[in-house]
Amino acid sequence: MTQPARKHPLVDATEPNLLEDTFAYDLPPRIHLDGQVVETIDGKPVAFDFAAVKDRDIHITDTTFRDGQQARPPYTIDQMVRIYDGLARLSGPRGVVRQTEFFLYTKNDRETLDRCRALGHAYPECTGWIRAVKGDFRLVKEAGLRETGMLTSSSDYHIFHKLKFKSRRECLESYCEVVAAAFEAGVRPRCHLEDVTRADIDGFVLPFVDRLMEMSRGVPEDQAVKIRLCDTMGFGLSYPGARLPRSIPKLIYKLNRECGVPSPRLEWHGHNDFHKVHVNGATAWLYGCDALNTTLFGFGERTGNPPLEGALVEYIALKGDLCGIDMTAVTDLADYLRSIGLPIPDNYPFAGRNFNTTRAGIHAGGLRRDERIYNIFDTAALLNRPPRVAITDKSGADGVAHWVNEFFGLKGDERVSKIKCAKLARWVIDQYEVEGRLTTISDEELEARTRELMPEHWARFKGGA
């Protein structure tokens, strides 16, 4: 039999250790990062200091109006203005949501931009998005924008098969002409290296970025090229040891430390084709990208982008501070977007109708004893979303009692015990065992039955309602 390498004696306790340094409950759980992380790159160990992220100016950028709109029918101008206003609430005074990008091609695009800017919010800054075409810079300049994204596809799939260049050199020179046009127009170009996780990194990406850095040395810092690493097909991998071009750590290392693109000018843009989108974005932050490009509720082309609200929770967890972010705007924006037809799944984290709803009686029992047992953080305070119980045959009297207390809004000693809810619990069980019901019981049904079966409580807590 294998001998244990180390013995672990029980540390007996009569008081619980709730690890509140990490799980403070009034904030999302902290992400504590210890020591250096070593990745082997080109055969040599390279150290990354993840803990430094706490002091770095990491931030979020938004593409709800660009990539987000590529996955749905267009928003109206009023809708976009309303969403932009919500993004400003999420940005907080420090501009955690720093920028958002707009198309500039139609009259509606330009009117939207003007109306959003007229709101006077400091953040998110409005930037543009154009094709890599010299003439398009006129649109950016006329709109009075300081920065625009431009497509600079980097894989041979795009260079040869989509854009039909005859050679990489022809492609590179074409891109650089457009960058030069941006400089000439006084606009900061943000080069979107499309499909970079499927590109020849040594053969094209690094030489192209070297050239961009060289060109940037001739312009003021606030005009120097930014690089957006676009994981267009979601191929990026966060694992240490993964090879290029899929390795996010190695990609960022190469651009950041070999090509010399400073972290404030590096951005990650992911897609969720392999269920990796959020962690890949957070990985990019840790390895040296300051900007993480996102969309509200991850809604974007095909499987979507890093969800903005998820990035905010990650940001708060890394910083250990709310940083002035009004997270209740997540709930308001989810309600609004649902009202205009955006399908947010019910179990979607932080925003789905049931993200903190339990159906299991045993979990409902835990919630009644101490909300922290089955709630991820204080969702009532942070998101205006108290934990809830959906009532089915699995809810038990605990679930019914939890529902009743939430419905009456009772706290502490005022809360009704499950003994007082026995008749309502019996009605619920009979729905399934006697009536053969197969669906969840709605709030409206429960409300009516509460009034009928708990008349004294109804009179006390609802009065004449």
The gap from C-alpha 256 to its chain's centroid, in whole angstroms, comes to: 23
Which residue in the set 419, 434, 438, 465 belongs to the binding site for another protein (CB under 8 A)? 419
Of these, 59, 276, 402, 418, which contacts another protein (CB under 8 A)? 418
Judged by CB under 8 A, does residue 449 bind another protein?
no
- Measured from the CB atom, is 379 or 405 closer to another protein? 405
Q: Rule CB under 8 A: is residue 302 a binding residue for another protein?
A: no
Of these, 80, 178, 397, 404, which contacts another protein (CB under 8 A)?
397
> Is 319 a binder of another protein (CB under 8 A)?
no
Q: For residues 176 and 422, which CB has a smaller minimum distance to another protein in the complex?
A: 422
- Encoded amino acid at 112, one letter: T
Q: Indicate whether 429 belongs to the interface with another protein (CB under 8 A).
A: yes
Work out how close the CB of 398 gets to another protein at its nearest, in angstroms, rounded to a whole number.
9
441, 432 contact by CB (below 8 A): no
Between 176 and 429, name the residue whose CB sits nearer to another protein.
429
What does the alpha-carbon distance between residue 441 and residue 448 come to, in Å, rounded to a whole number?
11
Per-residue b/e over 148-178, b at no fewer than 16 CB within 10 Å? bbbbbbbbbbbbeeebebeebeebbebbbeb
Binding region for another protein (CB under 8 A) out of 116-124, 137-145, 191-199, 419-427:
419-427
Distance in angstroms (rounded) separating the CA atoms of residues 153 and 204: 11
Q: Which stretch binds another protein (CB under 8 A): 10-18, 96-104, 246-254, 412-420?
A: 412-420
The yes or no reply on residue 211 touching another protein (CB under 8 A) is no
Of residues 72, 115, 359, 420, which one binds another protein by CB under 8 A? 420
| Residue among 45 and 412 whose Cβ is closer to another protein | 412
Least Å distance, CB 440 to another protein, is: 17
Task: Please choose, out of 79-87, 270-278, 320-328, 413-421, the segment that lies near another protein by the rule CB under 8 A.
Answer: 413-421
Q: Shortest gap between Cβ of 419 and another protein (angstroms)?
A: 5
Selected binder of another protein within 245, 361, 366, 387 (CB under 8 A): 361
User: Which stretch in 179-187, 292-300, 339-347, 421-429 sits in contact with another protein by CB under 8 A?
Assistant: 421-429
Q: Which two tokens stand for residue 116?
A: 């959003």
Residue 308, class by beta-carbon neighbours within 10 Å (0-12 exposed, 13-18 middle, 19+ buried)?
buried
Shortest spacing between CB 452 and another protein, in angstroms? 16
Residue 422 binding another protein, by CB under 8 A: yes
The contact set with another protein (CB under 8 A) reads 361, 396-397, 417-423, 425-426, 429
